[in-house]
């Protein structure tokens, strides 16, 4: 049983801690993978759902809502924990993550209230976001499309097809956030397919680039408060993050892309999070 959280949404640091704790319990319970990438994006998700996204949990299908595509669909547990935190569905649902008959499938599932698109095959999210932003631009509607990308999925060519399109069509309602945690499935990003100079690449595709520390709450809040970063351009926020952030023995460790914490590891991780400032 994952206890209900009663953290006020106004404190993103506390919300992020709660997301991390739920995420760890879910991944442990389901014996699932990808806890590291969930921990790295938790702070950004806490801010997005803590007041940046114009969404209403009582009207999850409001046509005028902002959309969020978690293109790195393997970290669905972090998004589910965030949505439960925000009140899109009862937090008891989190207890059944990855189980049969639960809508909370291992990778992001559009059948879950508050989830805008199914993902899990990498390299699709930015294109979905392009379509949404294009529709809103054409229809002169204010809704925005946020897309959370992993660094690893920047290997996918389709991501750059979308980047090219968005830059050309000046989709200022499209905001990409790269969870730049430096690790992908098989090792370090810089050793597998180095993305650097990454900011230059986005600029060359006519995007406005904002670089932040993806765990610094002031920097996250600052970047998300000024969107689009430049009128007439899509914005990309390159969030430098640490895979496994918040749990000392998971930080920067490729192992936790795959491994599920056992009972003792879970207890230790939760204790560390409770003790953190």
The whole-angstrom separation of Cα 7 and Cα 201 is 39
Q: What is the DSSP letter of 4?
A: P
Q: Which is nearer to another protein, 70 or 247 (CB)?
A: 70
With CB under 8 A as the contact rule, which of the stretches 17-25, 137-145, 240-248, 251-259 interacts with another protein? 137-145
With CB under 8 A as the contact rule, which of the stretches 4-12, 157-165, 239-247, 249-257 interacts with another protein? 157-165
Q: Which two tokens stand for residue 179?
A: 């969870």
Q: Which residue is it, tokens 């049983």? A: 1
Interface with another protein, residue 149, by CB under 8 A:
no
Query: Binding string to another protein for residues 77 to 106, with x set by CB under 8 A, is what?
Result: ------------------------------
Interface with Mg ion, residue 109, by CB under 5 A:
no
| Distance of closest approach, residue 181 Cβ to Mg ion, in angstroms | 4
The whole-angstrom separation of Cα 183 and Cα 44 is 18
Which residue in the set 57, 113, 120, 252 belongs to the binding site for another protein (CB under 8 A)?
120
Interface with Mg ion, residue 151, by CB under 5 A:
yes
Interface with another protein, residue 204, by CB under 8 A:
no
Which residue in the set 32, 46, 77, 132 belongs to the binding site for another protein (CB under 8 A)?
132
Contact residues for 158 (Cβ-Cβ < 8 A; gap 6+): 123, 124, 126, 127
Q: Which is nearer to Mg ion, 13 or 185 (CB)?
A: 185
The whole-angstrom separation of Cα 132 and Cα 149 is 16
**φ, ψ (nearest 5 deg) of residue 145:** -120, 115
Q: Which is nearer to another protein, 101 or 138 (CB)?
A: 138
| Distance of closest approach, residue 139 Cβ to another protein, in angstroms | 8
45 CB neighbour count, 10 Å cutoff = 29
Interface with another protein, residue 165, by CB under 8 A:
yes
Q: Is the peptide bond before 228 cis (omega within 30 degrees of 0)?
A: yes
**How does DSSP assign 34-75, residue by residue?**
-HHHHHHHHHHHHHIIIIIS---TT-TT-TTS-EEEESSGGG
Query: Binding string to another protein for residues 228 to 257, with x set by CB under 8 A, is what?
Result: ------------------------------
Strand order across the 67-70 sheet:
67-70, 145-150, 174-180, 235-240, 208-213
Which chain residues interact with another protein by CB under 8 A? Answer: 63, 67, 110, 116-121, 123-124, 127-136, 138-139, 143, 145, 157-158, 161-162, 164-165
């Amino acid at each position: 049983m994952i206890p209900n959280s009663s953290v006020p949404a106004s404190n993103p640091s506390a919300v992020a801690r709660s997301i991390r704790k739920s995420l760890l319990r879910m991944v442990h319970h389901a014996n699932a993978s990808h806890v590291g990438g969930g921990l790295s994006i938790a702070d950004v998700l806490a801010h997005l759902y803590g007041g940046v996204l114009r969404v209403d949990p009582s009207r999850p299908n409001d046509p005028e809502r902002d959309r969020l595509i978690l293109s790195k669909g393997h970290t669905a547990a972090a998004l589910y924990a965030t949505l439960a935190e925000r009140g899109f569905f009862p937090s008891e649902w989190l207890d059944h993550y990855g189980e049969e008959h639960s809508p909370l499938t291992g990778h992001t599932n559009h059948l879950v209230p508050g989830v805008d698109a199914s993902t899990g095959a990498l390299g699709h999210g930015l294109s979905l976001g392009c379509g949404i932003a294009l529709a809103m631009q054409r229809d002169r509607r204010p809704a925005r499309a946020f897309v959370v990308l992993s660094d690893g999925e920047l290997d996918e060519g389709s991501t750059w097809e979308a980047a090219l399109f968005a830059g050309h069509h000046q989709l200022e309602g499209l905001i990409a956030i790269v969870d730049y945690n430096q690790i992908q499935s098989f090792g370090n990003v810089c050793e597998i397919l180095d993305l650097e100079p990454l900011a230059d690449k986005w600029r060359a595709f006519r995007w406005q680039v904002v670089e932040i520390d993806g765990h610094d709450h002031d920097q996250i809040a600052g970047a998300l408060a000024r969107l689009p970063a430049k009128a007439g351009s899509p914005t990309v926020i390159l969030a430098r993050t640490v895979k496994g952030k918040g749990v000392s023995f998971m930080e920067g460790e490729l192992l936790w892309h795959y491994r599920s914490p056992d009972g003792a590891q879970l207890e230790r991780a939760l204790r560390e999070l409770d003790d953190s400032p």
